[in-house]
Amino acid sequence: MPDRRRRDRNTPAAQPQQTEAAQLTQQLLDAGYTKRHVAQILGRDPSLVSQFFTKGKGAAFVPALRRALEAMHTGAATTPEELHAVVDTLVQRRTTATGRNARVRAKNVVGDTHRSSLARAGKQHIASGASRLRPVIAGQAEVGGRVAFTVRAKRSAFVYDAGSPDDSPGLRRGVVQRADGTEERSYGAGLGPGQAGLDATEWKGRVDAAGGDVAAAVKAWLVSTHRLAPDAVITHLEVRGWRPAGRT
């Protein structure tokens, strides 16, 4: 009589289908990062990253993983520290036992402004001129670097539908919709290999013309290119800058 137990032991077990978080993480692993690096990028424990593969977890980190891969491919950020700064706003805050957001300390400006740097500002700081954003553009202009922006405003304030190539190349991968009716859209990071980013020198000129107000310069550009309504209010703005590979 056939030994069914032996046959069952020799039959390979069906592999569970990988979640999107696991697939995106695998792309980072294939690029040379480790699971510990991915955990550092997300600001989480390495054991959680392993559970993306073993337990199907990680759905909440998909937007951050997408942003990390985008930044890596464009050269906007390469080290785990730089990638963590790029995705930090997309990672959901941890909560305490009472359900409140855990306190997390983070710098508003990170990196070497002549290599890779990032700054972000909220509505209150934008209203006062968002001065912390200006050094990113100025530093990259000195070395012929590139910049990209992530703009958050009311969904209805954007002229084009989310994902429209007339709005920003890269389609929906640069769009994050929020529960409060606002939407984040990225500009300058999805133009194709060797073309990613906006010229920092040109943008320094735009910012200087706006009296040093980066948010005003970004809004003026979006309005003039018919991407944003003139009465729109930018609630959050992130500026990323980097020096293209090969430049010293």
Q: What is the mean pLDDT of the chain?
A: 77
Q: Which of 133, 111, 112, 113 is nearest to 122 (CA)?
A: 133
pLDDT of residue 97: 53
At 4-26, the pLDDT tens digits run: 554 455 554 445 578 999 999 99
Mean pLDDT of 209-225: 93
- Dump pLDDT digits (tens) for 151-201: 899 999 999 887 777 776 543 345 677 778 888 888 886 543 344 678 999
Q: Would you say residue 38 has pLDDT above 60?
A: yes
pLDDT band at 88 (very low <50, low <70, confident <90, very high): confident
CA–CA separation, 84 vs 89, rounded Å?
Answer: 9
Give per-residue pLDDT as tens, 93-140: 555 555 554 444 334 333 444 456 778 888 878 887 777 788 889 988
Report the sign of the C-alpha dihedral through residues 38, 44, 50, 55, in that order.
negative
- The pTM (predicted TM-score) of the whole model is 0.55
* Residue 107, H or E segment: none
pLDDT of residue 200: 92
